[in-house]
Amino acid sequence: MAGIGPVTTNLGDLLRRAGVRPSISAPKNELESFGSLCPGRVYYRDENRTLYFVDSPALSICDIVEQVFKGLEQSPRIRQLHMDVHNLFRAASCLQLTSSQKKALFTAFTLSGIHIVRSAKV
Is residue 48 domain-resident?
A: yes
**Which residues form the domain of 58?**
35-118
Is residue 59 domain-resident?
A: yes
**What does the pLDDT read at residue 49?**
93
The residue with greater pLDDT, 1 or 45, is 45
**Edge-to-edge strand list for the sheet holding 79-82:** 79-82, 90-96, 50-53, 41-45, 115-118
Distance between CA 70 and CA 6 in Å, rounded?
A: 40
Query: Where are the strands (E) in 46-89, listed by range?
Result: 50-53, 79-82
Is residue 82 domain-resident?
A: yes
What is the per-residue pLDDT across 45-76, written as a single tens digit (0 to 9) for each?
A: 888 899 999 888 888 899 999 999 999 999 99
The residue with greater pLDDT, 9 or 91, is 91
Instruction: Rounding to the nearest 10 degrees, give the CA dihedral for residues 118, 60, 62, 31.
Output: 50
What is the per-residue pLDDT across 68-112, written as a single tens digit (0 to 9) for each?
A: 999 999 999 999 888 778 888 888 889 999 999 999 999 999 999
Q: What is the pTM of this model?
A: 0.70
Is residue 8 domain-resident?
A: no
Q: For 19-38, what is the mean pLDDT?
A: 58
Q: Which residues contact 28 (CB under 8 A, 6 or more apart)?
A: none
Is residue 10 domain-resident?
A: no
Is residue 23 domain-resident?
A: no
Is residue 11 domain-resident?
A: no
**What does the pLDDT read at residue 11?**
60
The count of structural domains within the chain is 1
Instruction: Rounding to the nearest 10 degrees, give the CA dihedral for residues 49, 51, 52, 53.
Output: 180
- CATH number of the domain bearing residue 91: 3.30.70
Query: Where are the strands (E) in the chain, listed by range?
Result: 41-45, 50-53, 79-82, 90-96, 115-118
Is residue 85 domain-resident?
A: yes
User: Mean of the per-residue pLDDT values for the chain?
Assistant: 79
